[in-house]
A = this chain, B = another copy of it.
């Protein structure tokens, strides 16, 4: 699992937007970049992707900027990662379920599919609102709770 800078920045910018999802005020890319701590020009490009994918809307010109287009409760991290980074899981550039093995490796595809399913269980169940509130789904919290989850291997 390689979360790219793009993906990380996308999520962080959306979280900042979700934080201020109150009114009708648009947030310029510069402001978001400053508050999320990411490179401004790069974020501008990422916000373009997020707009085309329907996560944010934009207003041009003075007083312009970006607004969250959806309820933070309905935006999963998985959906963000997919639009910015492509599929959650790939094996040699193929989707896990499209891999085909024979002989000794026959059952390998099952493992890859299981690994992807495990990822989906986390990323497609966790929303912007969850992260913002620090109130993660129970099974997510359970996985991150044991101290060894926070150690290297």
Contact = CB atoms under 8 A, between A and B. Distances in A.
Interface of A: 1-5, 8, 11-12, 15-16, 18-19, 35-36, 77-78, 82, 87-92, 95, 97, 101, 103-108, 110-124, 126, 131-132, 134, 136, 140-141, 143-144, 146, 149-153
A105 B144 contact: no
Nearest to A3: B91
B77 A111 contact: yes
Binding site secondary structure of chain A:
helix
A111 B140 contact: yes
22 contacts: A1-B1, A1-B2, A2-B89, A3-B89, A4-B92, A8-B92, A15-B104, A16-B103, A18-B104, A35-B103, A36-B103, A36-B104, A82-B153, A111-B131, A113-B143, A114-B122, A114-B136, A115-B119, A116-B149, A117-B143, A118-B122, A120-B153
